[in-house]
Amino acid sequence: MPVPQQPAVSSEPKRLGHIFNFQIPEVWIRFLIAIVGLALAFGAALFSTVSRQSGNLWATLILSSVALILAVVVGLTTVPYLARRVAVEQFKDVFDYEVTRVGIIYMVGVVLIAIAALNTGNNLLYIIVATLLGAILVSGIASAVVLRPLELDVRLPEHVFAGQPVSGKAVVRNTRKWLPSFSVSLVPIRQKSGKQWQWVPATFAFPAQRPPEKQWFRVPDRRLRRVDNEPAGPGIFEGSAYFAYLPAASQLSAELALNFEHRGRYQEKSFGLATRFPFAFLTKTRHIALPREIVVYPSVEPPDEFFEVLPLISGEFESYIRGRGNDLYRIREYLPEDSARHVDWKATAKSGSLKVREFAREDERKLRIVFDNPDSGALSEKAYENAVRLAASLAWNFADQNTLLSFLSQEYRGGEKIYDFLSYLAEVQPGRGPSLLQNLSISGDYNIILTTQSQGTIPTSLWSCSYFVFLGAERATAS
């Protein structure tokens, strides 16, 4: 019976990182920062008092300024975090803060007056500093009161084409019964892509180096890590909408000017309601989770190739659907194979030559647009976009006529509605599969086929019932 081998023990000393877990919880980072900052601020304030008593004015000025700045930094980095940590479950929305230019000037003025108060010991200056700091607190509370009760709804148009300006609507409702809101702006929220430092959910356990089942206690926590953000896709809303006054228990709406230069799918995960009310010290933005999505169809503004191929396609299609139906198609010259019962005697008498009536059968006015999606690299990016635009323009043109339209492509599994096909073209990308012309069935429809295949590879059965648009490097050619 073989003896099981024991795992080899490495003689290399273990690294310190494998013994101790260096992922310090956020709460301890903030706690250490606060302790060190307050200790330094206390020491600077103590030495500034000593310097003042010794008559050293410059040392007193520098040390008192350092003490005040450290106290402010500790307050801004620790107090808001602790407040959010205590009440994080009570807040459904996220607030962003951005100091304005007015706020920076105001804070500089407060710091200067505070330094003067420390140097002179004047009680009036202390009262002024306290009043100025209280204005900042009032500003933060007032802006939160303005934004918190607001509800937002963004309404987008159903059908949008690239390059054509459209309008959306933003509706903001004030749910309070008595208090109005002032100076509110609707702004887009953009998430930066790339690696960023973020607080991510984690677990604080002690001792950290032990297995989970042998640790003394484990509590939910958050840790600062550098994570990769997903690339931000194209957004729907780029501008802003301003509401100067929102009465209580009412709603206001604003038009949103939208313009999409390129086809594709545009998304917004959230929108922001921002305000500088009441003193413009801070721009406070409230994030509102409001997912919105819109599919932008390719432009149906006819490209140059459209005007070249459309007359030829229309002529070939009309020739294909000529028949002996009930709807008069045209009056033409008599041919030997025509039946005598279709002779138009009035037209014959007027012209002096035998004329017959030609009819079109409505049940044969069927048209199928085939977009043979080329392989990746077969066309340049510009030529591929022109091909997609040409296919969309042809579909849009024939949709307005008395024609039964259908559509076909490698990845298209939609119906016969024009908007289904345009939605497919909005997001189509060069394919990697074989051409669909080799197995294309003859259904009795007349086909408009957009392809990059050479004429020699096309089955002969398609030539009698199809019109081909060959997609070249820069322009499309017809045959």
pTM of the model: 0.64
Over residues 335-364, the mean pLDDT reads: 72
Residue 167 has pLDDT above 70, yes or no: yes
Q: What percent of the chain has pLDDT over 90?
A: 11
What are 197-229's pLDDT values in tens digits?
566 677 767 677 777 777 776 767 666 666 666
Residue 356 has pLDDT above 60, yes or no: yes
- The confidence score (pLDDT) of residue 60 equals 80
Residue 297 has pLDDT above 90, yes or no: yes
Residue 42: pLDDT band (50, 70, 90) is: confident
- The confidence score (pLDDT) of residue 329 equals 67
Residue 303 has pLDDT above 90, yes or no: no
H or E segment to which residue 141 belongs:
helix 123-147
Select the more confidently predicted residue: 195 or 348.
348
State which of 5-14, 42-51, 175-184, 392-401 shows the largest mean pLDDT.
175-184
Residue 416 has pLDDT above 90, yes or no: no
Residue 21 has pLDDT above 50, yes or no: no
- The confidence score (pLDDT) of residue 87 equals 47
Q: How many CA atoms lie within 13 A of 263 on its CB side?
A: 21
Report the C-alpha gap between 441 and 465 in whole angstroms.
11
For residue 200, what are its two tokens? 């991510």
- The confidence score (pLDDT) of residue 359 equals 63
Residue 13: pLDDT band (50, 70, 90) is: very low
- The confidence score (pLDDT) of residue 152 equals 92
- The confidence score (pLDDT) of residue 198 equals 61
- The confidence score (pLDDT) of residue 47 equals 82
What are 226-256's pLDDT values in tens digits?
666 665 567 888 888 899 999 998 999 999 9
Select the more confidently predicted residue: 388 or 190.
388
What are 51-95's pLDDT values in tens digits?
777 878 788 888 888 888 887 777 766 766 665 555 444 444 567
Residue 300 has pLDDT above 50, yes or no: yes
User: Using alpha carbons only, how large is the chain's radius of gyration in Å?
Assistant: 37
Report the C-alpha gap between 446 and 466 in whole angstroms.
6
- The confidence score (pLDDT) of residue 34 equals 78
Q: For the ranges 130-144, 349-363, 456-470, which has the lowest average pLDDT?
A: 349-363
Beta bridge partners of 323: 359
Select the more confidently predicted residue: 319 or 424.
424
Q: How many CA atoms lie within 13 A of 320 on its CB side?
A: 21
- The confidence score (pLDDT) of residue 274 equals 92
Over residues 309-325, the mean pLDDT reads: 61
